[in-house]
């Protein structure tokens, strides 16, 4: 290609980009490692690495639910600072796992309060002490047992604790006016879940927690999920909760039948499918099988 043709083609390319809607030029030239999508009424989700983050940037202050890891939370903070100079009012953790609280430290000296269930705080401290990572933590300074509520601007935020599930400290965080509820890892959408028995997880209780969730929120609620097999499906509705509840129920029924058939834990974990379960995918089927076996044989 001669110099004249190169210049002409370059000019045409640049000209074409200038015709794109606002923001697309920047995304075309500088691709970000993260994705941001508005869910409803100013509530947005941020995904990069780790559990899904939800946030609201209101004139009265920003509220962020979960924080992924330090690098990812800094990406979010930088992005929000570009949008406005609004203060960071609240950081709320759905539970203690590092892919949801590891990024808390990025908010140190920036956010007014960090909120979580009291068991989530205990679990976070226990893990940090065991791993000798206390200096990398920003612990919640506001905790609750059953419910917690606060208003920021026109939005009301309410945390619900329904009992043990994925851990013994998982809470559902509801943006009440927007009617968006962040479930954290109480819901793995079509992806085999982890069940952290070291932190008080209980599958039988988890099923009841999902029932309480279905009874608490209405049919218009949009739910944010901690993880999904399809990264585009991190939000959904009650049908997704019912489907996950059905998976957990079938998991217990299957493992219980295997135990009654005299199967050992090692034999049960080798299963590659659960009867009646067709939608759940991924490479973590063994985690649920092992947890179900241990739960059903506990004390026997």
Domain boundary at 245, 271, 288, which? 245
> 69 with 171, same domain?
yes
Mean pLDDT of 193-214: 98
Q: Is residue 271 part of a domain?
A: no
* CATH number of domain containing 116: 3.60.15.10
> 4 with 93, same domain?
no
Give the total number of structural domains in the chain. Answer: 2
Domain boundary at 220, 245, 270, which? 245
Span 232-260, pLDDT tens digits: 999 999 999 999 999 999 999 999 999 99
Q: What is the residue whose two structure tokens read 């209405």?
A: 218
What is the CB neighbour count within 10 angstroms for residue 120? 29
Q: Is residue 261 part of a domain?
A: no
Both tokens of 193, joined, read: 């879940």
Both tokens of 200, joined, read: 């008080």
Span 107-157, pLDDT tens digits: 999 999 999 999 999 999 999 999 999 999 999 999 999 999 999 999 999
Tell me phi and psi for residue 112, to 5 degrees.
-70, -45
Span 17-51, pLDDT tens digits: 333 344 333 343 358 899 999 999 999 999 999 99
Quick one: pLDDT at residue 31?
81
Q: Is residue 64 part of a domain?
A: yes
Domain boundary at 212, 245, 278, which? 245
Q: Is residue 262 part of a domain?
A: no
What global pTM score does this model have? 0.89
Q: In angstroms, rounded to a whole number, what is the distance separating the alpha carbons of residues 285 and 155?
A: 39
Q: Is residue 240 part of a domain?
A: yes
Quick one: pLDDT at residue 30?
56
Residue percentage of the chain with pLDDT more than 90: 88
> 15 with 52, same domain?
no
Span 52-77, pLDDT tens digits: 999 999 999 999 999 999 999 999 99
| DSSP SS3 for 149 | strand
> 99 with 143, same domain?
yes
Q: In angstroms, rounded to a whole number, what is the distance separating the alpha carbons of residues 67 and 105?
A: 9
Quick one: pLDDT at residue 16?
37
Q: Does residue 167 contact residue 209 with C-beta atoms inside 8 Å?
A: no
| DSSP SS3 for 251 | helix
Q: What is the mean pLDDT of the chain?
A: 91
Q: Is residue 142 part of a domain?
A: yes
Q: In angstroms, rounded to a whole number, what is the distance separating the alpha carbons of residues 20 and 84?
A: 24
Q: Is residue 69 part of a domain?
A: yes
> 23 with 145, same domain?
no
> 164 with 18, same domain?
no
> 162 with 82, same domain?
yes
> 10 with 134, same domain?
no
By C-alpha distance, which of 202, 155, 162, 204 is closest to 179?
A: 155
Q: Is residue 289 part of a domain?
A: no
Quick one: pLDDT at residue 300?
74
Q: Which residues is 235 bridged to in the sheet? A: 224
> 51 with 109, same domain?
yes
> 9 with 124, same domain?
no
> 119 with 176, same domain?
yes
> 188 with 175, same domain?
yes
Q: Which residues contact 129 (CB under 8 A, 6 or more apart)?
A: none
Q: How confident is the model at residue 297 (pLDDT cuts 50, 70, 90)?
A: very high
Range of the domain at 55: 34-245
Quick one: pLDDT at residue 299?
78
């Amino acid at each position: 290609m001669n110099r004249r043709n190169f210049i002409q083609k370059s000019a045409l390319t640049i000209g074409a980009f200038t015709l794109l809607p606002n923001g697309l030029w920047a995304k075309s030239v500088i691709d970000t490692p993260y994705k941001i999508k508005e869910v409803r009424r100013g509530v947005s989700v941020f995904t990069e690495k780790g559990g899904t983050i939800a946030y609201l940037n209101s004139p009265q202050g920003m509220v962020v639910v979960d924080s992924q890891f330090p690098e990812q939370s800094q990406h979010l903070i930088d992005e929000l600072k570009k949008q406005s100079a609004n203060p960071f009012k609240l950081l709320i953790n759905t539970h203690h796992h590092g892919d949801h609280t590891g990024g808390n430290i990025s908010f140190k000296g920036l956010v007014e309060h960090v909120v979580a269930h009291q068991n989530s705080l205990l679990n976070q401290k226990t893990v940090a002490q065991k791993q000798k990572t206390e200096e990398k933590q920003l612990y919640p300074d506001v905790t609750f047992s059953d419910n917690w509520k606060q208003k920021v601007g026109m939005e009301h935020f309410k945390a619900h604790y329904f009992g043990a599930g994925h851990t013994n400290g998982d809470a559902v965080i509801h943006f009440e006016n927007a009617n968006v509820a962040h479930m954290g890892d109480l819901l793995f959408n079509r992806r085999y879940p982890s069940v952290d028995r070291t932190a008080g997880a209980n599958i039988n209780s988890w099923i009841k927690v999902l029932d309480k969730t279905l009874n608490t929120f209405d049919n218009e609620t949009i739910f944010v999920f901690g993880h999904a097999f399809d990264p585009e499906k991190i939000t959904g509705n009650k049908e997704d909760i019912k489907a996950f509840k059905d998976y957990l129920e079938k998991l217990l029924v299957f493992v219980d039948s295997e135990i009654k058939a005299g199967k050992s834990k090692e034999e049960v974990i080798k299963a590659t499918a659960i009867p009646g379960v067709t939608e759940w995918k991924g490479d973590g089927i063994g985690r649920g099988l092992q947890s179900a076996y241990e739960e059903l044989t506990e004390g026997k």
